[in-house]
């Protein structure tokens, strides 16, 4: 998937979401995907996403990933496994 098309959807893993089937889960999808099961979304659904360069989108995705890990209690492995579905994401670490 290209970064311009990528949208992250997730549900934080917090006490008020613990009964939610998607709690603590994240997926990389396209903006035409039915994402109502997830509480949060970012990326292709955001205003200005399409105007950013790939490097700017990758920077945003890195920041979002760390925020999901640190604040939303989503496992690091799960976050980065999904982000690896975006072409060029792993290479953007270099």
pLDDT digits (tens, 9 = 90+) for 8-42: 999 999 999 999 999 999 999 998 988 899 999 99
In the prediction, which pLDDT does 92 show? Answer: 87
Residue (of 33, 37, 35) closest to 5 by Cα position: 33
User: Residue 93, Cβ neighbours under 10 Å: how many?
Assistant: 8
pTM: 0.92
Q: What is the mean pLDDT of residues 81-94?
A: 91
pLDDT digits (tens, 9 = 90+) for 40-77: 999 999 999 999 999 999 999 999 999 999 999 999 99
In the prediction, which pLDDT does 74 show? Answer: 98
| CA diameter of the chain | 38
């Amino acid at each position: 998937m290209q970064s311009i098309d990528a949208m992250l959807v997730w549900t934080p893993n917090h006490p008020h979401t613990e009964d939610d089937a998607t709690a603590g889960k994240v997926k990389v999808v396209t903006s035409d995907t039915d994402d109502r099961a997830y509480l949060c979304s970012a990326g292709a659904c955001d205003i200005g996403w399409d105007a950013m360069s790939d490097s700017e989108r990758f920077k945003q995705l890195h920041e979002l990933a760390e925020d999901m890990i640190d604040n939303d209690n989503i496992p690091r492995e799960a976050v980065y496994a999904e982000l690896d579905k975006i072409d060029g994401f792993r290479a953007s670490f270099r």
